[in-house]
Amino acid sequence: MANTFELNVGALTLDDLLALHAGGATLTLPARAHVAIAASYAIVAKAAAGDAPVYGVNTGFGKLASKRISREDLATLQLNLIRSHSVGVGEPMQPAVVRLILALKAASLARGHSGVRPIVVDTLIAAYNAGLVPYIPSQGSVGASGDLAPLSHMTLALIGEGEMLENGVRVPARAALANAGIAPLALEAKEGLALINGTQVSAALALHALLTFEPVLEAALVIGALTVDAARGSDGPFDPRIHEVRGQPGQIDVAKYYRALLAGSVIRKSHEENDDRVQDPYCLRCQPQVIGACLDQLRHAALVLVREANAVTDNPLVFADTGEMISGGNFHAEPVALAADAMAVAIAEVGAIAERRIAMLIDTAVSRLPAFLTPDAGLNSGFMIAHVTAASLASENKSLAHPASVDSLPTSANQEDHVSMATFAARRLQSMIENTSHILGIELLAATQGIDFLRPLTSSLALESAHRLLREECPFVEQDRYLAPDIERATALVKHGALSRVFRALPDASKLPPLWIPV
């Protein structure tokens, strides 16, 4: 039986969002939300019954806002809005993203500033609880005036005219709703606009990236430390005094992680006093500075995205305490766009420095390991071309990291003359995470190979655990073989949490700073 999860409207935490993203819980609303929803709906119902023009209630939309709509056509106005705005293209959004979209839209409307009936929020929650996945094409939003097209596809499914995804197959929404015992939603005044005007798609995509990158980043820390030992690097650059005098919090924390990961390494002890290399390459020595800066950006993005997940972002907004409806621009997703762009740069940099570590490992002049990490270089090419793959992925990420937020194309006949492009800014992060995961998978293979050349010396307990995980999947590369399957298996350890668990199982892990500061 699923756990009950009360949607803490306006106060969702990152842990709450992780649970909503994972699914499997039964959502409920707190009593205070029902009161707020009813109060705001009363204001809209009054406006719909009156003669004064109110945007989104009895007028057209966007450039057509000056066009008055008769009282008998108000429901048709909302229905036409959803039909006309369901124009998305591309691959469907992943179920985990759609779950977040449903939950975030319900949480936003339940704040009581949108003027919808309780049944609207109840239908969103019922769809989430039934495990329904509205078919939402991934392309077609510019991230201003809300995520109009994708949210229209979501709403089209809820009114029984769109489609749902069942095991990746598109099925008629009306049948899926009937099978779940959910009545199709019949829209009233302002409800269609409230459902599609908002940043929930952009925010859900960015949160999906943040949550899926977390185990990859933890794996990057483990693999980076493994490479330090494979190259017989120094742990001196991780001395806390170096980082304290700079004062950058991410850098300080990353240095702590590396000290914990390398603690007890016999490899390090073996060359502690007689190492003739004065300084390590930047890709080893500057990991706290580089990954720490990335961590600071990701932590800031988490703060922005948690705020956005709790926000009311449709238009116009209802303020029941004064009886007012006020038009504004909370639908503009610039905060999400800038956060997603910062995440893109951070994800690219994690992959970029990992690629440099691979290049260092295969270069015998720097790593002091056999050339290309093969016992018989010349006859064998070893990791020569695996590094080329990593280089190609790092380069691809650099192109993808170009900020999306700096591009704005006016829409709606210049009424909506500056847009955020937040939806693409967030959507492209998944490709970047995939690329970085593969780079790290290649580095894991290379670093583990390097450690094997140093036997019988051993690394720390944590890093030996990582080494063992890889060797259970991929044997030592004695001579050239088909390496692509090894890369896929190593990448799976990066993406799916095996190396993340090594990081989280560090001795005294509870004393280490959390990766994401609680928000």
Encode burial over 262-277: b for 16+ CB neighbours within 10 A, e otherwise.
bbebebbeeeeeeeee
- Residue 208: name the closest of 137, 127, 305, 128 by CA: 305
- Residue 219: name the closest of 91, 310, 350, 126 by CA: 350
**Cα(36)–Cα(392) distance, rounded to whole angstroms?**
53
The length of the chain is: 519
Contacts of 388 (CB under 8 A, 6+ apart): none
- Residue 383: name the closest of 411, 406, 358 by CA: 358
**Secondary structure in 3-state letters for 310-379:** CCCCCCCEEECCCCEEECCCCCCCHHHHHHHHHHHHHHHHHHHHHHHHHHHHHCHHHHCCCHHHCCCECC
The amino acid at residue 299 is R
Q: Which two tokens stand for residue 173?
A: 């929404």
Backbone angles phi, psi at 325, to 5 degrees: -120, 125
- As a whole number of Å, the end-to-end CA separation of the chain is 29
Whose structure tokens read 């009054």? 46
State how beta strands 169-172 and 163-166 pair: antiparallel
Q: Which of 55, 135, 257, 258 is catalytic?
A: 55
- Residue 297: name the closest of 344, 332, 255 by CA: 344
State how beta strands 163-166 and 324-326 pair: unpaired
Residue 125 contacts residue 62 (beta carbons within 8 Å): no
| Residue ranges with strand state E in 110-206 | 137-139, 163-166, 169-172
**Cα(430)–Cα(97) distance, rounded to whole angstroms?**
12
State how beta strands 25-28 and 3-6 pair: parallel
Task: Say whether 41 is catalytic.
Answer: no
**Cα(375)–Cα(477) distance, rounded to whole angstroms?**
9
The helices-and-strands tally (H runs, E runs) of the chain is 22, 8
Whose structure tokens read 């300080």? 252
User: Helices (DSSP H) in 401-483: which residue ranges?
Assistant: 422-427, 429-453, 461-473
| Residue ranges with strand state E in 7-125 | 25-28, 89-92
Neighbours of 96 (CB within 10 A): 18
DSSP string for residues in 427-441: HTHHHHHHHHHHHHH
Residues assigned a catalytic role: 55
